[in-house]
Amino acid sequence: MVPNLTNYLFLSEIMQAKAGQFFSSGHTNNWAVLVCTSRFWFNYRHVANTLSVYRSVKRLGIPDSHIVLMLADDMACNHRNPKPATVFSHKNMELNVYGDDVEVDYRGYEVTVENFLRVLTGRLPPSTPRSKRLLSDDHSNILIYLTGTHTQMECGYNELLFIIDTCQGASMYERFYSPNLMALASSQVGEDSLSHQPDLAIGVHLMDRYTFYLLEFLEDIHPASTANMNDLFKVCPKSQCVSTPGHRTDLFLRDSGNVLITDFFGSVRKVEITMETINLTAPMVHLAVERPVSELKTESQSYVDQLPVAEIIHQKPKQRDWHPPDGFILGLWTLILLVFFKTYGAKHLKHIF
Amino acid sequence: PCHLQDPASISHLVMCYLAGVAWFMGLAFEPFTLRTYMSENAMGSTMVEERFPAGERALATGREFAAHKKKVGGMPVDWLVKTMQSRGLEVFTQSFTRKLPFPDENKERYMVRGTNVYGILRAPRAPRTEALVLSAPCSEGNNNNQAVGLLLGLAQYFRSQIHWAKDIIFLVNEHDLIGMQAWLEGYHHTNTTGGDWSPLQGRGGSIQAALSLELSSDVITSLDLVLEGLNGQLPNLDLANLFYAFCQKIGVLCTIQGKLQRNDWDTTSGYSHAAQTMMLMVLKQASGRPWGDHGLFLRYHIEAASIRGINSFRQYKTDTTTIGRLLEGMYRKLNNLLERLHQSYFFYLMPSLSRFVSIGYYMPAFGLLAVILLLRALDLWVQLGASPPGTEDGVAGGVQVSYGPSSPGVLSILTPVVISHMTGVALYTLPILSQEMAVQHFPVSETEAVVLTAIAIYTAGLALPHNTHRLLQGEGTEEGWRVLKLVALLYLAVLLGCTALINFSLGFILALSLVPIAAFITPHTPKALSAAIMVLLSPGCTLLYCVFVFQELQETPVSLQDGWMLFLSVISQGILDHALYGSLVYPLLALLIYPCWLLLWNILFWK
């Protein structure tokens, strides 16, 4: 995206100040990475979650070329779908979020932890098409929405908003260390995220609670809206969500009250039309706090050992079966041997060995 | 040498036995049981909208079926084929014949010839890899007409839905279990029981689950769930949970073993009700026969249950549309399955439909009984090791067990073993083989001949010990009977253990009667009393008691005369089940348990 910087003419200092204010948010483009990691028909609601967020984000202005949509299973064409080629997010089938203009970039078995991390870090094979890449730069605001099961990230970005709608979502953002990152999760560690919209005709739950209330909130947002992140944090309190949503802003440099929702959810182009010429005399000073961009690289190296990514990815499932303790088996064999030798006598040992 | 039984150890063994029985009875006490819950994620909750509308039409179809059945005098094959085809199913038939080893007096059949008719509803968009089965039996008289009607009504309704991911096979089988066996063998290309049937022309993929419907009235008051299958095998508990969940949602009264659930577990009558339900399940499982048409599916790892509609004297009646909705809901949920039901338990006991006891909780009851045998065996081993052999061998000292290098020793042990097993083989084969000869010489029917021959051979075994000792040269020794008893104890322990693993109820009931006699019988106990106890606790008498107890629990107590006739018919049914479906109870009792009991009888009369 070509910054619109050069299109502006300033009349006076006021205009210069206005111009300064204009660039107070340091981002010029928006990206969204929407991931649904769960498969199978009974996880219909996770795909519906992701597609609903996809619809909202498109409505608020982010184009398909800037959205990486990863869906792990195809609900619309599942044999069990009574309305094929549709995915509904509201019961009574009011809203088909699948539609005919959805662009899924990663589908089915391509949605893996490895691919997700590769998308975020940009380490993709050279043959990967543009639609599957996250081509963000230093001035991009990125929205990452995760639903389904657990996964876990660094790439070029300006600011990052992480939304996690899974069970124990807070456990994910507790591990973040990258700067300028804000995270929201639908549940704390030890809590489960609950589903919301049962639909009897389709026979599955259509949405999760957190995303349902999140989307209700987003319906009121339009591209010129001035709602900020503090309002987003208030979405779905415990009384509605049953789980306790949490958020983390300590890594974020700006105050969350100053961050507009549309900074992440929309691709808002600030256009101010003026008929006068403005002379830019001094270089524009970003009112935002300086980001330690160069430090990013060295910091990430020092953190490499702290986050055992390989272990997290390859975590073995907990052992569920109970086996008798080894001592017990050893004791049993000792008992058998004792009885044997008592009966036969030690002098028979030489016959055995 | 002193081998008086240590009084302390006797009390230990008695305590063990009582503990085992108490543990078993305690299983029915509600705080010791768990509430049932759905383990399979894919089936989720009962969140489905059932819209089956055509209960009345189903009843009309049932009446048509009844009329055609009466006209043809059997299964109206052509009418069924035509009706299923008009509903859009792919229809196929299978004919089968079967000659029973002897006439079945309960069902009055000997040469069975029949036809199964089945229609396959293909899944609209899915590949034909998986299938579900709904079956209704074609019975004589006025039975199960409504079941076939409802089956056809559901077939028509299901045909108009597009959300089926598995093929649904609607099967109407003739001659209940014999027809079902022929169909299943044809479907899976096996022939284990020697029947003669035509191969199936159409198939539907691997069957994931099956339900068998028995409905003989237009309205019902409750639905009974039957789980026990062949050889005591049970379907996955999730199937029972699914049924219960839908019964709750739709509001139909559901029972298991014909008994309704009660809420007052803390009263004596409440506890005894739960205990009765559990005992009924134990007895049915121990019999090893399939208690519904579903019983034969389990062998192929297909989870199946029978649903029986019962019309009794209650005010609130449920109509056919509601039953149709319940079945529709169950099938929609089964449709969501991605793999076979395997998340929940395969081995359990149910004191009521919403409570269950899993294998981990009921096995210790059997373990406590088995441990008595092992303790006794250990005791004998130590005794044999401690007392010097000193007699035949003349070898001094040493801690050696004389597993008899001396011939009379070995022979005196091996002989009873061989003779007992040969008697067992005779008990297994002779009744059927000699039925013609028996019919010629005695005024009895073939069935009676078979059963009475079996009882005769069983009783003749009692005379063996007195006769085999006449054949043997040397006298039996003190040590001889100890070794024989050790062998018998270990043999019995292994046998009962293996039986309990496969069919806990059968193993437990046999253990209840055999463990006391195995533990305490020696040649030195008072002969007359011990002989009487042994006969009273022999496998045959155990079966007799079980028949009486079963009738009591079913609330239809029988007199001694009727009980005896029932006992005879149970024996004949057992032999038939083995010949027709491969039930293992009769071979187990005849070839393994009875010889074991004979060994103990031999020990009692050891000289």
* Chain A residues near residue B399 by CB distance under 8 angstroms: 342-345
Structure tokens at A292: 């330690």
Please indicate whether, in this complex, the C-beta atoms of B401 and A80 are within 8 angstroms of each other: no
* pLDDT tier at B476, thresholds 50, 70, 90: low
SS3 category, A188: coil
Residue B244: helix, strand or coil by DSSP? helix
Is the predicted pLDDT of residue A300 greater than 50, yes or no?
no
Contact across the interface for A81 and B163, Cβ inside 8 Å: yes
ipTM surpasses 0.90: no
pLDDT digits (tens, 9 = 90+) for B375-433: 999 988 888 887 655 444 444 444 444 444 443 467 778 888 998 999 999 999 999 89
Tell me the C-alpha distance between B178 and B184, whole Å. Answer: 10
From chain B, the residues in CB contact with A198 under 8 A are: 45, 47
Terminal C-alpha separation, chain A: 82
CA distance B77 to B195: 21
More reliable by pLDDT, A122 or B427: B427
| C-alpha pair distances (Å), B68 with each of A272, B27, B144, B203, B560 | 85, 49, 14, 27, 42
In angstroms, rounded to a whole number, what is the distance separating the alpha carbons of residues A349 and A334?
15
Q: What is the pLDDT of residues B192-229, one digit of tens each?
A: 888 899 999 999 999 999 999 999 999 999 999 999 99
pLDDT score of A1: 44
More confident residue, A282 or B373: B373
Cβ-contact B112, B193 below 8 angstroms:
no
pLDDT per residue as tens digits for the range A62-88: 899 999 999 988 888 888 888 888 888
Task: State residue B236's pLDDT score.
Answer: 95
Secondary structure class of B566 (helix, strand, coil): helix
pLDDT, average across residues A275-280? 78
Under the banding of pLDDT at 50, 70 and 90, the label for residue B137 is: very high
Residue pair B353/B223 in contact (Cβ under 8 Å)? The answer is no
Reported pTM: 0.80
Mean pLDDT, to the nearest integer, of A298-321?
Answer: 50
Per the model's pLDDT, the better-predicted residue between A338 and B297 turns out to be B297
Residues of A in contact with B378 (CB under 8 A): 339
pLDDT in the model for residue A349 = 55
Between A and B, how many residue pairs show a Cβ–Cβ distance under 8 A? 58
Determine which of A218-222, B340-344, B567-571 has the lowest per-residue pLDDT on average: A218-222
Task: Among A42, A198, A200, select the one facing B336 at the smallest CB separation.
Answer: A42
DSSP B424-477: HHHHHHHHHHTHHHHHHHSS--HHHHHHHHHHHHHHHGGGHHHHHHHH-SSPP-
Cβ A203–B332 below 8 Å, yes or no?
yes
Nearest-Cα residue of chain B relative to residue A76:
B163
Mean pLDDT of A202-229: 79
Return the pLDDT at A337: 80
Quote the pLDDT of residue A8.
41
CB distance B399–A343 less than 8 Å? yes
Rounded CA-CA distance B154/B50 in Å is: 12
Closest residue of B to A322, CA-based?
B360
> Residue A345: its pLDDT value, please?
63
A222 confidence band (pLDDT: 50, 70, 90):
confident
pLDDT reading at B168 higher than 90? yes
- Kindly tell me if the per-residue pLDDT of A318 is higher than 80: no
| DSSP 8-state class, residue A205 | E
Closest CB to B48 among A84, A203, A345: A203
How many whole angstroms separate alpha carbon A224 and alpha carbon A209? 27
Q: What is the mean pLDDT of residues B159-186?
A: 94
For residue B136, the SS3 value is strand
Phi-psi region for residue B572, left (φ > 0), alpha (ψ -120 to 50) or beta? alpha
Cα–Cα distance, A66 to A64 (Å, whole number): 5
CA distance to A55, A65, A120, A139, per residue, from A62 (Å): 10, 8, 18, 15
Say yes or no: B332 contacts chain A, CB-CB below 8 A.
yes
Query: Is residue A338 within 8 angstroms of chain B, CB to CB?
Result: no
Instruction: Count CB-CB contacts under 10 A for residue B557.
Output: 12
Using the beta-carbon criterion (under 8 Å), do B126 and A79 form an inter-chain contact? yes
How far is CA A26 from its chain centroid? 22
Which residues 200-239 of chain A have a CB within 8 Å of chain B? Answer: 200-201, 203-205
Q: Kindly identify which residue of chain B lies nearest to residue A203, measuring between CA atoms.
A: B48
Q: A5 falls in which pLDDT band (50, 70, 90)?
A: very low
Do residues B29 and B271 make contact, with C-beta atoms less than 8 angstroms apart? yes
CB contact under 8 A, A203 and B165: no
- Which of A223-227, B15-19, B331-335, B426-430 has the lowest average pLDDT? A223-227
Please tell me the predicted confidence (pLDDT) of residue B607: 73
Nearest to A79 among B125, B378, B381 (CB): B125
Residue of B nearest to A342 (CA): B399
